[in-house]
Chain A
Amino acid sequence: MNRRTFVSGALTLVALPAIAHAHPVHASAAVADVRGRRVEITLTATPEDLQEALRRASGRVLDIDTDADIDALAHAYVEDRFTLEGPQGPLPLTWVGCEITDETARLFFEFKLPKDPSGVTVRSAVFFELTPAHINRVQVRRGRRSVTHRFRATDPAAPLMR
């Protein structure tokens, strides 16, 4: 069952921030290190956001600190929501693993760029299903150069390198 998908037509939509705290703190941060043709990505999120996202995606009450299949679920989740796309289509994602501590959840994965990486776009749509107010930051580093993208639900993709 594809419960999460709903394609909206001509509706006017209004963003309602979900306030779980005096101020909503809904953000993830990713660092993408470009080394030659490899892009190594570390995505950092709050463990609560990741747990909630995996609960929704799997449809069961799980504990990201103890459940055995978190690695596989997290892999499937980023595969779906964090993409690099070239002119020939999506680039394959290689899962490295995840690390969950008291304070943060970190997901590690990588992509291999095509020979000409100029047309590649990066899209981070993680956690937008939890609240439309979510923001995903992706810092792309290549040597000493760095550019940071900020993605919102309205605007989840950008050229990888400017």
Chain B
Amino acid sequence: MIPSHKPRAVTYAPRVLRDQICIVAGLVLISTPALAGSGGPYPVAADPFRQLEELLPTPTTTRTGSGAPGHQYWQQDVDYDIEVRLDDEKQQVQGHERIRYENNSPDTLSYLWLQLDANIYSPTSDRAMAASAPGFDRVSYRSFRRLLEGLTFDGSVKLSKVTDKRGRDLDYTVVGTMMRIDLPKDLKSGKSFVFDIDWSYAINDSSKIPGRTGYERFDDGTIIYEIAQWFPRLAAYEDVNGWQNKQYLGAGEFTLEFGDYDVEITVPADHIVASTGALSNPRDVLTAKQRDRLQEAETAKAPVFIVTPDEAKEAEQGKTQSTKTWRFKAKNVRDFAFASSKKFIWDARQVEVAGEPVWAMSYYPNEGEPLWSKYSTKSIIHTLDVYGRYAFEYPYPAAISVNGPVGGMEYPMICFNGPRPEKDGTYTKRTKYGLISVIIHEVGHNFFPMIVNSDERQWTWMDEGLNTFLQYRTEQEWEPNYPSRRGEPSKITDYMRSDNQVPIMTNSESLLQFGNNAYAKTATALNVLRETVMGRELFDHAFSQYATRWKFRRPMPADFFRTMEDASAIDLDWFWRGWFYTTDHVDIGIVGITENVLETGDPDVDKPKLKAERDAEPETLSKRGDAELPTWADSDKDIYDFYNDYDELDVTDTDRKRWKKRRSRLDADEAALRDSHKRFYSVEFENVGGLVMPIILDVAFENGRHQEVRIPAEVWRKDPKRVRKLLIVDDPIVSITLDPHLETADTDLSNNAWPPKVQKTRFQLYKERKKKNPMQEAGMGDGPKMKDDPGPGEDQASEGGR
């Protein structure tokens, strides 16, 4: 919509004023009609301010209407004792586990569901079958090798024993990536069940079958293992959905139960193991020198090498048949992962969080240097600090970053991150910031969803969106002008304007565009909420309230929406509805502006002014054409009377008498207001995109002054399509800019200015910019246009397809 401006139109007759304009007794405030009528009544279903009750689940004794855990909140408890052997010859995992399942639910269970994620690497898996075949007019050898491997590789779980604790076989059924164990007798509320499983599987080679876990073989045959989703794990059983036993198809991640782990990991004796939990047998697996260095790292101000780059290089050359068993214990975690390699350099620094020691540690091969020793551990510590302020203080004893084949993936206390420098040890700026960002992101996942245990398989945004929002905050606190990818509203406008979207509140497997939807749109929404809608203080309080309430618990979307309102006393239903439940976008435009003048009331002042304005109005075309037309009056002057000489803008005695009378009735305040020379601008806005948002204006005055006006989103309550706002100001306005700081993700800036400005596309701007080099732009020289710029309208074909 192109905004228009009408010059002020003045009529000398009092009128009933519209909208929010107040009528001051005795003073005449004159308004020109609105340029376009209001949208009129709209269907109730389209009301963006309709409360969310109809969409949110009814509060229960487990989840309150305020968004907190209810007085009967419960969750299951699952503890694991695991012995696992990493077969370095065959690249296999062989494991034995004893699981203690505690039924804290009020329900009786007759079976348990477990996840066998490695079954995704069966050639007959749902993932493989459901994936659409690529149309290949061309395939790289690498892609083709991957495809062939995908057809033949079997990394599915082989179960050799499923028994109760006395060794009696249990009935079980495997359904894709899920396994159901039928209990010998019903498991009543408050009771627990202990059982054992032996299993093995082949680990995927990441170069052929990439994933969230796998091994990487280097040219010299040495290997890094990153092992995750590797043991049969209990599926979640919860108060809202019962069993979360949706199949693992690859995109949606997990939801799991909290519990305690005691894990013994047997690996080649020359390996270094990084793992969830705390190492409980350092004397068995570490050298005296390594233990001394760890002690030094407890108080060091910078990360200390526990295994130096040279020592790692030396270890790569060796070969051993013997093994060592590393034992790790972890309390109150929802999962367990580890990495193992003889290639690992290991650096560590202990920091104090809430009075408790926390190990920040990094494990990486020499191929990661010099980047990793410079940035990894520092990034971990920084992340714990910033997230600690926005959410809660980090409650685990370790936070670990590992470099290996997995590009970026999170598990409790440990994450895998891919970026490495070039082979010659140099690295680009992009690689550097890519590494810092991915470490911040993956370490940040400790908070969401490892501790605030949302259901990733169902709602990606609850962990990825919240985490990406805090990642942005953490990046901005790393160094000035950190090149953050997501978070700034202006970075998501291209996406929001496009068709073919789905709302954020969409199941993980159905999300059309993970990056934009669950990550960027959610992060942007939270940023807008913080900066523009709620303000930092209120937002930060409510956000940390949510994190604290649901720490070590399982929140649902409504718990987040409700807590943010509950802790801030701000009705945000319109915001959740628009940003999370619709695919509407932000596009607010200025439709028109009307300037209203306050007349003095004195006919000797007002009427001559009006007369001058009227006489200055241009003659219309038809009037000009008719000027020479013969008329009846040419031959019959008798038709003229009083009204032919009368001008309603001439001042009469009656006018003066009326004015005298009116003036005597004005009290002092009214007289002061009359003499204040206030100006009244009625600005009309249109909501083109559908998402209601605050209206933020930069108002520029004739005298060079600027004023920012912030109108809350509630202004759209009466009519979500059009609103009119009255600005009462002292000086003439020369221009108005909507969303001047690009904080609302407004997707179309062409209707954001009055007087209207032609908004150029990115393409046009680039082309214009490219015509001139910086020296030319500075007015130096008048050189030729750049060679590869054909200029508008030219039809300079490049060479055809190669």
Contact = CB atoms under 8 A, between A and B. Distances in A.
B139 A6 contact: yes
B691 interface: no
A45 B78 CA distance: 44
B771 to A, nearest CB: 11
A131 B770 CA distance: 33
A87 interface: no
B798 A41 contact: no
A30 B616 CA distance: 51
B209 A79 contact: no
Nearest to A75: B798
Contacts of A61: 422-423
A139 B156 CA distance: 41
Contacts of A38: 793
Residue among A14, A29, A80 with max Cβ neighbours from chain B (10 Å): A14
B795 A106 contact: no
B498 A42 contact: no
B134 A154 contact: yes
Given A27-B513, A56-B140, A65-B430, A16 B802 contact: no
Given A137-B498, A148-B499, A96 B766 contact: yes
Interface string A70-88: 0100011001100100000
A30 to B, nearest CB: 10
Contacts of A27: 513, 515-516
A112 B212 CA distance: 45
Residue among B137, B445, B767, B793 with max Cβ neighbours from chain A (10 Å): B137
A41 B514 contact: no
A12 B128 CA distance: 11
Interface residues of A, number: 76
Contacts of B497: 139, 146
Given A16-B210, A19-B211, A129 B140 contact: yes
A153 B134 contact: yes
Contacts of B136: 6-8, 13, 153
B143 interface: yes
Contacts of B445: 22
Contacts of B513: 27, 135, 137
Nearest to A23: B514
Given A16-B147, A128-B134, A152-B132, A97 B770 contact: yes
A159 interface: no
B491 A21 contact: no
A151 B788 CA distance: 29
Contact of A108 (B123, B144, B146, B763): B763
Contacts, number: 207
Contacts of A83: 801
B199 to A, nearest CB: 23
Contact of A42 (B761, B796, B802): B761
A69 interface: no
A76 B800 CA distance: 10
A97 to B, nearest CB: 5
A47 B485 CA distance: 11
Contacts of B514: 23-25
Contact of B134 (A23, A25, A56, A152): A152
Nearest to B794: A94
Given A96-B763, A132-B143, A154 B500 contact: no
B761 A80 contact: no
Contacts of A156: 135
Given A15-B131, A15-B132, A90 B800 contact: yes
B775 interface: no
A112 B795 contact: yes
Given A15-B134, A29-B494, A103-B483, A22 B761 contact: no
B406 A41 contact: no
Given A22-B408, A147-B499, A33 B147 contact: no
Q: Majority SS of interface residues in chain B?
A: loop
Interface in A24-66: 24-25, 27, 29, 31, 33, 38, 40-42, 44, 47-48, 51, 56, 61, 63-66
B428 A65 contact: yes
Interface string B490-509: 01001101111000000000
B430 A48 contact: yes
Interface in B280-318: none
A16 B249 CA distance: 11
Interface string B120-139: 00010000100111111111
A152 B135 CA distance: 8
A22 B409 contact: yes
Given A25-B515, A103-B483, A148 B150 contact: no
Contacts of A65: 428-430
A67 B151 CA distance: 39
B485 to A, nearest CB: 5
Contact of B764 (A40, A102, A137): A40
A14 B128 contact: yes
Interface string B773-802: 000000000000000111001111111111
A17 interface: yes
B460 interface: yes
A103 B491 contact: yes
Contact of A22 (B209, B428, B442, B491): B442
Given A61-B422, A80-B801, A21 B796 contact: no
Contacts of A155: 135
A56 B138 CA distance: 14
A25 B251 CA distance: 11
A97 B789 contact: yes
A102 B433 contact: yes
Given A13-B133, A83-B801, A96-B766, A129 B407 contact: no
Contacts of A154: 132-135
Contact of B494 (A31, A63, A125): A31
A3 interface: yes
B276 to A, nearest CB: 16
A156 to B, nearest CB: 7
A115 interface: no
B686 interface: no
A95 B790 CA distance: 8
B383 to A, nearest CB: 15
A65 to B, nearest CB: 6
B395 interface: no
A20 interface: yes
21 contacts: A6-B136, A14-B133, A15-B134, A16-B209, A19-B211, A19-B409, A21-B407, A22-B212, A23-B519, A24-B514, A25-B515, A25-B519, A27-B513, A41-B763, A42-B761, A48-B430, A75-B798, A128-B134, A148-B500, A150-B500, A153-B136
Nearest 3 Cβ contacts at the A-B interface: A25-B515, A102-B483, A92-B797
Given A20-B408, A94-B790, A139-B497, 8 more contacts: A8-B136, A22-B409, A48-B430, A96-B763, A96-B789, A99-B766, A135-B513, A152-B134
Interface of A: 3-8, 11-25, 27, 29, 31, 33, 38, 40-42, 44, 47-48, 51, 56, 61, 63-66, 71, 75-76, 79-80, 83, 90, 92-97, 99, 102-103, 106, 108, 110, 112, 125, 128-129, 131-132, 135, 137, 139, 146-148, 150, 152-156
Interface of B: 123, 128, 131-141, 143-144, 146-147, 150-151, 209-212, 250-251, 253, 406-410, 418, 422-423, 428-430, 433-434, 438, 442, 445, 460, 464, 483-485, 491, 494-495, 497-500, 512-516, 518-519, 761-764, 766-767, 770, 788-790, 793-802
